[in-house]
């Protein structure tokens, strides 16, 4: 069926083991990962005896005060920032989740999407599992609990992961260690680092720069890394491993200062801009990038074509990213609130407008109109990635053909729709 609706989502995860004041470190790391989700966030810590949790709806700086961080003691922590409506909004679906078990409590944070979640949920509920949220992330915890014996907890995790299909980066915190797990395709990024003699793990390396950690390596596809007082141990949970990193990590989601699989995101985007000029040069006076994720590509386009690069669009930094707003109505309002054209720069100019991608076309049409209203004589739109023509069920909020502009329109038809 072409129009089955699902709600995958993108998030950010961070963990710290044997790191002094782990809650504060996690707070600053989550702030660096805020671009991956703005709807809610949470931190769970362990102080040697008890797990402590604080979470809420909103930005990291809105949810966590100094007083709340003081109520999160310990040298072990995991944190999460959430976006979109996988399973619905509300505080119940804000992670990390915590779970009680006779072998010991544990906490879980997840970035990605479990594509066989409905089947697994029916199976678990039929065997007595009680769910406390509508998020697919809770499924892994119940799978672990079904076969969990303390001496074989790693075996329980391996068995659970082999029942899951989809894209994921999981962090599982127990009283003794943190497990970092990545799906067998490596669709979602996850990196390891060292800090003050302890270990840190993050969705993106930009968080390491913020907290002063040293990058060690990426978690490999199909790998479970165990971080404890004995150091780092690695296990492969799947024999079938094939690297298929999500292109949207490079194109849109990740911060330019992050390195993914050894490739700097800014350098990648700049090179796409260079290639874009060779493929589709524009008869323009200036090059303007759509802030923020398209600026690197715009720089590459400008340099390759010998055209001046100008800041023709200004971003209101206090408005969330429009693509990851949870509804179309909010996206449209978000575009109008977050961007404005610099009239003195674009007036009377032929503008080559560089954007990273076209998903629904919401942003592109509004920006083209905005530039014309500001006095641009022509707007030539250039997109630094191939057309998105199929839905994604692996953790990106593009889940039906109907909402993908390029799925049912030619390049010329898209041009007419966005007014370029």
Interhelix angle 328-338/362-373, nearest 10 degrees: 30
Residue 232 and residue 343 in one domain: no
pLDDT at residue 395 in the model: 62
Question: Pairing between strand 191-195 and 198-202?
Answer: antiparallel
CB 136 within 8 A of CB 85: no
Would residue 380 count as lying in a domain? yes
Would residue 1 count as lying in a domain? no
Token duo for residue 139: 């499924």
Percent of the chain surpassing pLDDT 90: 66
More confident residue, 296 or 115: 296
More confident residue, 407 or 312: 312
Report the alpha-carbon distance of residue 25 to residue 19 in Å, rounded: 8
Residue 332 and residue 400 in one domain: yes
Range 147-173 burial, b when 16+ CB lie within 10 A, else e: ebeeeebeebbbbbbeebbbbbbbbbb
Report the alpha-carbon distance of residue 292 to residue 308 in Å, rounded: 18
Would residue 252 count as lying in a domain? no
Residue 354 and residue 390 in one domain: yes
Residue 311 and residue 207 in one domain: no
pLDDT at residue 6 in the model: 37
- What average pLDDT does this structure show over 161-190? 94
- Is the pLDDT reported for residue 35 higher than 90? yes
Residue 61 and residue 166 in one domain: yes
Would residue 378 count as lying in a domain? yes
| DSSP single-letter state for residue 71 | T
- What average pLDDT does this structure show over 312-320? 81
The CA R_g of the chain, rounded to the nearest whole Å, is 22
More confident residue, 408 or 386: 386
CB 314 within 8 A of CB 291: yes
pLDDT digit string, tens, across residues 83-94: 854 455 688 889
pTM of the model: 0.89
Q: Which residues are catalytic?
A: 11
More confident residue, 33 or 134: 33
Would residue 7 count as lying in a domain? no
- Is the pLDDT reported for residue 8 higher than 50? no
Nearest to 330 by CA among 93, 57, 85: 85
Residue 304 and residue 236 in one domain: no
Residue 158 and residue 191 in one domain: yes
Percent of the chain surpassing pLDDT 70: 90
Count of alpha carbons within 13 angstroms of residue 13, beta-carbon side: 31
pLDDT at residue 286 in the model: 99
Contacts of residue 117, Cβ cutoff 8 Å, sequence gap at least 6: 136, 139, 166
Contacts of residue 97, Cβ cutoff 8 Å, sequence gap at least 6: 107, 108, 109, 132, 133, 135, 137, 138, 141
Token duo for residue 288: 């303007």
Report the alpha-carbon distance of residue 164 to residue 184 in Å, rounded: 10
Contacts of residue 213, Cβ cutoff 8 Å, sequence gap at least 6: 193, 194, 195, 200, 207
- What average pLDDT does this structure show over 227-232? 96
Residue 214 and residue 303 in one domain: no
| DSSP single-letter state for residue 45 | E
Most confident of 15-24, 94-103, 142-151: 15-24
Helix (H, G, I), strand (E, B) or coil at 324: coil
Residue 198 and residue 93 in one domain: yes
CB 356 within 8 A of CB 294: yes
- Is the pLDDT reported for residue 330 higher than 80? no
Of 216, 245, 274, which residue sits at a domain end? 245
Provide the domain count of the chain: 2
Most confident of 98-107, 271-280, 391-400, 409-418: 271-280
pLDDT digit string, tens, across residues 92-139: 889 999 998 777 789 999 998 898 989 999 999 988 888 888 888 889
pLDDT at residue 78 in the model: 99
Residue 327 and residue 377 in one domain: yes
Q: Domain holding 400: CATH number?
A: 3.40.50.2020
- Range from 6-10, 187-191, 227-231, 302-306 carrying the lowest mean pLDDT: 6-10
Query: Which H or E run contains 69?
Result: helix 66-70
pLDDT at residue 409 in the model: 85
Residue 229 and residue 314 in one domain: no
Would residue 70 count as lying in a domain? yes
- What average pLDDT does this structure show over 147-159? 74
Token duo for residue 95: 């992670």
Contacts of residue 285, Cβ cutoff 8 Å, sequence gap at least 6: 307, 308, 349, 350, 351
pLDDT at residue 7 in the model: 41
Phi, psi of 407 (to 5 degrees): -70, -25
Query: pLDDT category, 205, cuts 50, 70, 90?
Result: very high
pLDDT at residue 1 in the model: 31
Residue 393 and residue 341 in one domain: yes
pLDDT at residue 226 in the model: 97
Query: pLDDT category, 311, cuts 50, 70, 90?
Result: very high
Q: Domain holding 132: CATH number?
A: 3.60.20.10
pLDDT digit string, tens, across residues 237-292: 988 878 899 999 999 999 999 999 999 999 999 999 999 999 999 999 999 999 99
Would residue 256 count as lying in a domain? no
Residue-number span of the structural domain to which 180 is assigned? 12-245
- Range from 10-24, 134-148, 218-232 carrying the lowest mean pLDDT: 134-148
Mean per-residue pLDDT of the chain:
89
Q: CA torsion sign, 23 to 28 to 34 to 40?
A: positive
pLDDT at residue 49 in the model: 93
pLDDT at residue 402 in the model: 78
Would residue 229 count as lying in a domain? yes
Nearest to 362 by CA among 385, 399, 336: 336
CB 77 within 8 A of CB 63: no
Report the alpha-carbon distance of residue 327 to residue 161 in Å, rounded: 31
């Amino acid at each position: 069926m072409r129009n089955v609706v699902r709600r995958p989502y993108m998030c950010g995860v961070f963990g710290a083991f044997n790191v002094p004041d782990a809650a504060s470190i996690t707070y600053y790391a989550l702030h660096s990962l805020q671009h991956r989700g703005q709807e809610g966030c949470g931190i769970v810590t362990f102080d040697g005896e008890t797990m402590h949790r604080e979470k809420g709806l909103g930005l990291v700086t809105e949810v966590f005060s100094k007083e709340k961080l003081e109520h999160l003691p310990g040298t072990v922590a995991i944190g999460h920032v959430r976006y979109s409506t996988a399973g619905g909004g509300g505080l119940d679906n804000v992670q990390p989740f915590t779970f009680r078990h006779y072998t010991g409590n544990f906490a879980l944070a997840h970035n990605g999407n479990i594509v066989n979640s409905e089947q697994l949920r029916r199976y678990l509920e039929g065997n007595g599992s009680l769910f406390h949220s509508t998020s697919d992330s809770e499924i892994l915890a119940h799978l672990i609990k079904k076969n969990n014996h303390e001496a074989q907890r790693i075996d329980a995790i391996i068995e659970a992961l082999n029942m899951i299909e989809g894209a994921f980066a999981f962090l599982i915190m127990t009283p003794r260690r943190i497990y970092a797990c990545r799906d067998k395709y490596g669709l979602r990024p996850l990196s390891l680092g060292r800090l003050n003699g302890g270990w840190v793990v993050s969705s993106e390396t930009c968080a390491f720069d913020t907290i002063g950690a040293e990058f060690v390596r990426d978690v490999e596809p199909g790998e479970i890394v165990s971080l404890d007082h004995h150091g780092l141990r690695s296990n492969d949970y799947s024999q079938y491993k094939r690297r298929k990193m999500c292109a949207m990590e490079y194109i849109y989601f990740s911060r330019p200062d992050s390195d993914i699989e050894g490739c700097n995101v800014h350098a990648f985007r700049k090179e796409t801009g260079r290639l874009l000029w060779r493929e589709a040069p524009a008869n323009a006076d200036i090059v303007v990038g759509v802030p923020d994720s398209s600026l690197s590509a715009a720089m590459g386009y400008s340099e390759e074509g010998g055209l001046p690069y100008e800041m023709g669009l200004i971003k209101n930094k206090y408005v969330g990213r429009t693509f990851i707003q949870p509804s179309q109505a909010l996206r449209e309002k978000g575009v109008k609130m977050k961007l404005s054209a610099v009239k003195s720069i674009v007036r009377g100019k032929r503008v080559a407008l560089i954007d990273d991608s076209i998903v629904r076309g919401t942003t592109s049409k509004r920006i083209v109109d905005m530039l014309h209203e500001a006095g641009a004589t022509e707007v030539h739109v250039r997109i630094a990635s191939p057309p998105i023509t199929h839905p994604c069920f692996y953790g990106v909020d593009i889940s039906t053909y109907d909402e993908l502009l390029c799925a049912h329109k030619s390049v010329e038809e898209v041009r007419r729709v966005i007014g370029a």
